[in-house]
């Protein structure tokens, strides 16, 4: 049996966890319950559980501090963070400290809990089998190469300071920077989810990504060095040649890395992987291969892992350009169709050029022109043509070429609508359909992905537009709508709290009660009692 310790200060949550799954039948046993962080640490030392399931917010000592203390003591265990706080900051801190999974209480179901526990149990079993004996100490006369040194080395390559001409001499003058015989470069582009409060450019995100990668690649015995540039993140992976020479192994490992990064950090990403080489002097060439492989993902509709193939030079050497005079004259005549056709033609040429920098240049030009037109024509719809809609940073929030195309086409369509219709504060067609989907399906366990499929656009694009036009993210809008429906049911019916929870789309009544209190300031019971008193008068 896998031993599990539960730490949560709320009785209803502990009861809910114990009754969510049949623990014994699935190979787990709850060995103890702690009501605060201090008790959790004491019980951990006494009971020696395999998995710690802990809340973040607890009295005396929070869940993050519990993990920090136990990890500092080199305890071998897996930590599953449960929290009602949909905040990347907590997830990032938990991962930095060594947590293995992070699940929101509002989204916790029997299947999710069992899946997370089973995965943690498998990981723990692997780590215990692979736990190495204490490594031999390096000889005193051999210098120790630090991760910072490797990182600076990769920075020099990415910045062009070290190239095919001077890199061999540079390496000859230094001790070996890496211990394994083969090298592979990987280029990642991370897509931020607008429902998340994280900053993918922050050092904290970089650290969380680095720690997660070290954990996953380390299981294969691979080493890695990670560097974040303006547009992409690069991995220099040092690995055994037998692994490097197997395309199947490379794809499996990097696809697993991609899945875990997306799950833990609430992002989506595309990933290009270079060919392998046994020569460190080949690294500049491998960087170009990895970036080319990633670019092939960028111009495709689905996020993927792509291995480098033969490089095909672009037939287009000059960036395609928008005809700004034609666009302005057509919009002045309220003739939008030729404008959209022209934009489509330019984007077709961009796709053929297969050059990321060209796409950014056209996006920026299109945004600048749109801002000028809106200002000149005094268009004031603050939902679809607000300041956030004209931010150049939106380019980095659109992870795919076709999303950039659609964003610009939608923007000019909204400009035309704003110039011809009455100045009403209405949502765009896509967000109107999304809200309709929520209102018709809030009783079911729906997600941003479900809504995006209904609207017919990508999850990333819908998430970005939803926040731009409504001012809140999708999950918050959905939660607010569900709670408003719950308030009506509690006030006007005799339904029990668990029945109301089910009616408004919450699978777990304990979590529903907590969400309700946090959003209204009252417990369900108090709200229902006051509603009955109001009705009596």
pLDDT at residue 237, as a whole number:
94
* CATH code of the domain in which 98 resides: 3.40.50.2300
Task: Indicate if 505 and 433 belong to the same structural domain.
Answer: no
For residue 187, give both structure tokens: 């280029």
Q: How deeply is 261 buried, as exposed, middle or buried, from its count of CB atoms within 10 A (0-12, 13-18, 19+)?
A: buried
Same domain flag for 213 and 351: no
**pLDDT of the residue at 129:** 62
Q: Please give the radius of gyration of the chain, using alpha carbons only, rounded to the nearest integer.
A: 27
Query: 484 with 416, same domain?
Result: no
pLDDT of residue 132: 44
Return the CATH number at 502.
1.10.10.60
The answer to the question of residue 183 being in a domain is yes
Would the pLDDT of 274 be above 50? Answer: yes
The residue among 423 and 297 whose pLDDT is bigger is: 297
Are residues 252 and 272 both part of a single domain? yes
Residue 313 belongs to a domain: no
If you average pLDDT over residues 308-333, what whole number do you get? 84
Mean pLDDT of the chain: 83
pTM: 0.59
Same domain, 480 and 387: no
- For residues 475-492, give the mean pLDDT: 92
Q: Are residues 158 and 275 in the same domain?
A: yes
CATH code for position 449: 1.10.10
Per-residue pLDDT tens over the stretch 230-272? 678 899 999 999 998 888 899 899 999 988 888 777 777 889 9
Residues 108, 163, single domain; the answer is no
Would 366 be classed as within a structural domain?
A: yes
Whose structure tokens read 């600048």? 368
Does residue 403 belong to any structural domain of this protein? yes
* Cα 388 to Cα 374: distance, rounded to the nearest angstrom: 14
Dihedral sign of CA atoms 11, 12, 16, 19 in order: positive
Tell me which of 275, 307, 339 is where a domain ends. 307
Q: How far apart are CA 103 and CA 81, in angstroms?
A: 6
Write out the H or E segment, with its range, that includes residue 68.
Answer: helix 63-72
* 92-125 tens-digit pLDDT: 666 666 666 777 776 677 888 888 888 888 878 8
* Banded model confidence at residue 3, pLDDT cuts 50, 70, 90: very high
* 87 is a domain residue: yes
Domain identity same for 294 and 230 = yes
Q: Give the count of domains, the chain.
A: 5
Instruction: Identify whether residues 66 and 208 lie together within a single domain.
Output: no
Whether 331 has a pLDDT exceeding 60, the answer reads yes
Residues 211 and 246 in one domain: yes
**In this structure, what CATH number is given to the domain that contains residue 205?**
3.30.70.270
| End-to-end Cα spacing for the chain | 57
Across 465-485, average pLDDT = 90
Together in a domain, 67 and 83: yes
Name the domain boundary from 397, 420, 443.
Answer: 420
255 located within any domain:
yes
Residues of the domain holding 516: 476-536
* In-domain check, residue 211: yes
The reported pLDDT for the residue numbered 135 is 40
Packing angle, helices 88-97 and 247-265, rounded to 10: 130
- Kindly tell me if the per-residue pLDDT of 85 is higher than 80: no
Is 170 found in the same domain as 237?
yes
Which token pair is 133?
């004996």
Query: CA 314, CA 509: separation in Å to the nearest integer?
Result: 57
Q: What percent of the chain has pLDDT above 90?
A: 30
Question: What pLDDT shows up at residue 309?
Answer: 75
Domain boundary among 247, 279, 307: 307
Q: What is the pLDDT of residues 23-81, one digit of tens each?
A: 888 889 999 999 998 999 999 999 999 999 998 888 888 888 888 888 877 778 888 88
Structure tokens at 447: 């997600």
CA-closest candidate to residue 351, choices 298, 397, 388: 298
Residues 182-239: tens digit of each pLDDT: 999 999 988 765 455 456 666 677 777 887 888 788 888 898 999 888 678 899 999 9
What are the structure tokens assigned to 18, written together?
């114990």
Q: How confident is the model at residue 314 (pLDDT cuts 50, 70, 90)?
A: low
Which string of DSSP letters, residue by residue, matches 94-145? HHHHT--EEEEGGG--HHHHHHHHHHHHHHHHHHHHH-PPPPPPPPTTSPPP
Q: Which helix (H) or strand (E) holds 359?
A: helix 356-377
Residue 126, exposed/middle/buried by CB under 10 A (0-12, 13-18, 19+)? exposed
| pLDDT, tens digit, 9 for 90 and up, residues 378-400 | 876 656 778 888 888 888 778 78
Q: Is 433 inside any structural domain?
A: yes
User: What is the number of H-type helices and E-type strands within the chain?
Assistant: 23, 10
């Amino acid at each position: 049996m896998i031993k599990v310790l539960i730490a949560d200060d709320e009785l209803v949550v502990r009861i809910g966890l114990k009754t969510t799954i049949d623990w014994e039948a699935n190979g787990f046993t709850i060995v103890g319950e702690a009501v605060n962080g201090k008790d959790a640490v004491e019980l951990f030392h006494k009971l020696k559980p395999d998995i710690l399931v802990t809340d973040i917010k607890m009295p005396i000592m929070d869940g993050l501090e519990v993990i920090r203390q136990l990890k500092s003591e080199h305890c071998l265990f897996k930590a599953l963070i449960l929290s009602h706080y949909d905040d990347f900051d907590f997830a990032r801190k938990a991962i930095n400290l060594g947590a293995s999974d992070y699940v929101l209480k509002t989204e916790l179901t029997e299947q999710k809990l069992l899946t997370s526990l089973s995965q943690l149990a498998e990981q723990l079993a692997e780590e215990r089998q692979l736990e190495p004996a204490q490594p031999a100490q390096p000889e005193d006369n051999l210098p120790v190469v630090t991760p910072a040194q490797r990182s600076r080395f990769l920075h020099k390559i990415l910045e062009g300071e070290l190239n095919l001409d001077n890199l061999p001499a540079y390496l000859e003058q230094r001790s070996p920077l890496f211990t394994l015989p083969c090298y592979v470069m990987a280029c990642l582009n991370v897509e931020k989810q607008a429902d998340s409060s994280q900053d993918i450019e922050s050092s904290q995100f970089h650290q969380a990504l680095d720690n997660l990668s070290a954990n996953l690649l380390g299981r294969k015995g691979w080493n890695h060095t990670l560097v974040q540039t303006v547009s992409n993140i690069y991995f220099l992976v040092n690995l055994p040649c037998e692994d490097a020479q197997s395309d199947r192994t490379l794809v499996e490992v990097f696809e697993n890395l991609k899945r875990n990064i997306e799950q833990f950090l609430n992002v989506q990403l595309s990933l290009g992987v270079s060919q392998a080489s046994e020569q460190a002097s080949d690294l500049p060439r491998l960087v170009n291969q990895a970036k080319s492989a990633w670019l092939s993902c960028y111009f495709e509709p689905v996020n993927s892992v792509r291995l480098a193939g033969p490089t095909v030079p672009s037939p287009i050497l000059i960036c395609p350009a928008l005809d700004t005079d034609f666009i302005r004259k057509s919009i002045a005549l309220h003739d939008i169709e030729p404008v959209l056709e022209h934009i489509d033609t330019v984007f077709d040429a961009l796709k053929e050029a297969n050059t990321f920098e060209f796409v950014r240049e056209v996006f920026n030009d299109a945004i600048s022109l749109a801002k000028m037109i809106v200002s000149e024509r005094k268009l004031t719809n603050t939902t679809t043509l607000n300041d956030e809609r004209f931010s150049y940073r939106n380019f980095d929030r659109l992870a795919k070429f076709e999303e950039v195309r659609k964003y610009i086409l939608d923007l000019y369509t909204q400009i035309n609508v704003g110039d011809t219709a009455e100045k009403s504060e209405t949502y765009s067609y896509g967000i109107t359909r999304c809200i309709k989907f929520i209102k018709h399906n809030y009783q079911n366990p729906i997600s941003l992905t479900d809504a995006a499929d209904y609207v017919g656009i990508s999850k990333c694009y819908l998430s970005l537009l939803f926040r731009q036009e409504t001012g809140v993210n999708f999950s918050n809008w959905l939660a607010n709508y569900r709670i408003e429906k719950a308030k009506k049911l509690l006030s006007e019916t005799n339904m029990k709290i668990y029945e109301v929870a089910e009616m408004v789309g919450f699978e777990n009544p304990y979590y529903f009660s907590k969400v309700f209190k946090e959003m209204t300031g009252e417990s369900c019971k108090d709200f229902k009692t006051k509603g009955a008193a109001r009705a009596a008068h």
